Amino acid sequence: MLRQGLATFAALALATQAGCYNTYNITLDELAKVQEGGSTSAVSVTTAETEQIVVTENTKIGVTDKDGSYHPISPFNFTMTTNQLVAPDEGEILMREQIETGNVKQISGLKTGLLVAAGVAAIGALGVFVIISAPKNEGFR
């Protein structure tokens, strides 16, 4: 029983790791702005929802192709021409017509806090379960 509980908890923890980010879709023209970091290594881009977000060298970015596959790329270290996207760090060369949209992932403080709180609650619940289900102390025999 304890083993199943730990396996379930581990599976839930791994499944929610993607839940710590807010993902924004951006056009390929906006993604092209992220090729150069500017003087401060930060670039402001406009999302598909017309929201301004800042991309730094620690921001996760990537592209989604028309098949639905996600390809991560490094900010400020890729080249986008009128025909293709070249990301040498990841070994990616994608034709521009294959790309559906650009993606920017930023850490969400709320989602991360909720994930940590859920982990603490699960560990606490597991401790209570172990205490309640322990056999009565009958001493040495």
Residues in Cβ contact with 101 at an 8 Å cutoff, skipping those fewer than 6 apart:
25, 26, 27, 28, 48, 63, 64
Task: Give the Cα separation of 60 and 103 in Å (integer).
Answer: 8
Residue pLDDT, tens place only, 21-48:
888 999 998 888 888 766 677 888 888 8
Task: Give the Cα separation of 114 and 126 in Å (integer).
Answer: 18
Residue 4 has a CB neighbour count (10 Å cut-off) of 8
Task: Give the Cα separation of 77 and 58 in Å (integer).
Answer: 12
Q: Which residue has the higher pLDDT, 91 or 1?
A: 91
Residue pLDDT, tens place only, 115-135:
788 888 999 999 999 888 888
Answer whether 0.75 is exceeded by the pTM. no
